[in-house]
Amino acid sequence: MPRHATPAERAADSLHSAAIHLLRSLRREDARLGVGPAGLSVLSVLVFGGPKTMGQLAAIEQVRRSTMTRIVTSLERWGMVERLAAADDRRRIIVHPTSTGRIVMRRGRANRLAELVRRLEHLPDAEIALLARAAQLIERVSKDHALA
């Protein structure tokens, strides 16, 4: 006889699926920016998380350093990032977002949020409030895990 899933397992399965579908559908908004998903992900890390070394970026994005070099080189060609020597050690290179990179990232975020708002506007206020509370819980679960 198969074991029944626990409430946490059922919630995790539903949340996982819903999050993937939501992010995938909102990612369509990014196509208008002219930057691929990998580049936008790196740009997001830099704009919202601050300058990073190539090693830090590769670890965050879970890719090889050579892959990160290719992504950063592309972003650099488009004028969205720049590599600068660290103040404390001129041999260490730090990747910084440029003003163009910040504008592109903010525009992308605004596009995704506007699309999400359009979708939410059709829901009753009580359901919107429920989603807002769920977002707080998801954020808490994400932070709790990051601290572990």
CATH code of the domain in which 39 resides: 1.10.10.10
Range scoring the smallest mean pLDDT among 1-15, 46-60, 89-103? 1-15
Angle ∠(78,45,26) on CA atoms, nearest 5: 85
pLDDT value for 147: 45
Res 37 pLDDT > 80: yes
Domain-located, residue 11: no
Angle ∠(41,100,47) on CA atoms, nearest 5: 40
pLDDT value for 148: 43
> What is the number of structural domains in the chain?
1
Res 116 pLDDT > 80: yes
Domain-located, residue 129: no
Helices 54-61 and 37-49 cross at an angle (nearest 10°) of: 120
The reported pTM is 0.74
Domain range enclosing 61: 26-123
What CA–CA distance (Å, rounded) separates 53 from 69? Answer: 11
Domain-located, residue 146: no
Domain-located, residue 10: no
Domain-located, residue 147: no
Look up residue 139 and give its amino acid.
Answer: E
Q: Which residues pair with 84 in a beta bridge?
A: 94
Domain-located, residue 68: yes
Domain-located, residue 134: no
Q: Give the chain's length.
A: 148
pLDDT value for 33: 81
What CA–CA distance (Å, rounded) separates 120 from 127? Answer: 9
pLDDT value for 145: 60
Domain-located, residue 112: yes
Average pLDDT of the residues of the chain: 90
